[in-house]
Amino acid sequence: MNAITLEAIAEIRTLNESAPQGKHVITGDIRRSSARLFRKIEDRRIDNVLALCEELLSQHDWALGVIAFDWAYRVREQYNAETYGIFFGWLKKYVRGWGDCDDLCTHAFGKLLRSRKELFSSVLEWTKDGDFWVRRASAVVLIPAIVHNDYNGISPFMISDALIRDGHELVLKGYGWMLKCYSQIEPEIVKEYLIDRRTVMPRVAFRYALEKYDAETRNTLLRK
C-alpha cells in the first residue's frame, strides 16, 4: 500500500480515537485532512490518484471513502474516457450507504456527467439495476448538472419516470430530491410534471419534490 494512503489511514484512526465517546468523526475534519494529504501527493496524474483512491476505498471505511471521493473530485480536469468505468465500479463495489452514494454522485461522478453528457444513456440504464444504491444514484448524479443549469442533453424526467414507483424508499427520496433541485430551475415545468404524475408518484417522493415551492402551491398540489 502506498505511503500516502497509509498516512491517511493513520490520520483517520487518530481522529476516531480523539472523537467524543459515541460520536462520529466530524466530516469537516476529514475534509481538512484530505486537502492537506492531497497536497503531499507528488504524482497527481489521474491514473495514480484514482489508484490511491481505490486503496482507500478497499478499506471499506466511511471516513476513508470521504477522502477517496474528495481526491477523485480534485483531479476532475483530467477526467477521460476511462473514468466512467472506474467510477461505476466504485458505485457497484463500495457504495453501501446514502452518504457514500450522495458524496460520490454530487461531486466526482456528477462532474463527470456534466463534462460528458453522452453518458446519460448509460445512467438511464442504472434505473434497472438490481442494486438500489445504483438506482438512487441514477437520480442523484444529475443534481450537479441541474443546479448549475447545465443539463442540455440530460432528461431528469426520464429518470424520475423510470423510478416513479420504485420499491425502495431511498430511491424514491433520491429522485424526489432531484426533482426538488430541478424545481428551483424550472418551477412551472416541474409543477406541471407533478400535477400529471400526482396519482402514481408515491407520497414520499412527491413531498420531497414539493419542498421548495411556496406553502400555497404545496398545499394545493397535496390536496389534488
Taking the C-alpha atoms of residue 138 and residue 175, their distance in angstroms, rounded to an integer, is: 8
Classify burial at 203, counting beta carbons within 10 Å of its beta carbon; exposed 0-12, middle 13-18, buried 19 or more. Answer: exposed
DSSP 8-state secondary structure symbol assigned to residue 222: H
CA distance to 18, 70, 187, per residue, from 184 (Å) = 41, 26, 6
Range of the domain at 53: 1-78
Residues 67 and 101 in one domain: no
Mean pLDDT of 165-185: 97
Domain end residue (candidates: 13, 43, 78):
78
**How many structural domains does the chain have?**
2
- Does residue 15 register a pLDDT over 70? yes
Mean pLDDT of 16-45: 88
Residues 171 and 127 in one domain: yes
pTM over 0.85? The answer is yes
- Does residue 23 register a pLDDT over 80? no
CATH number at residue 188: 1.25.10.90
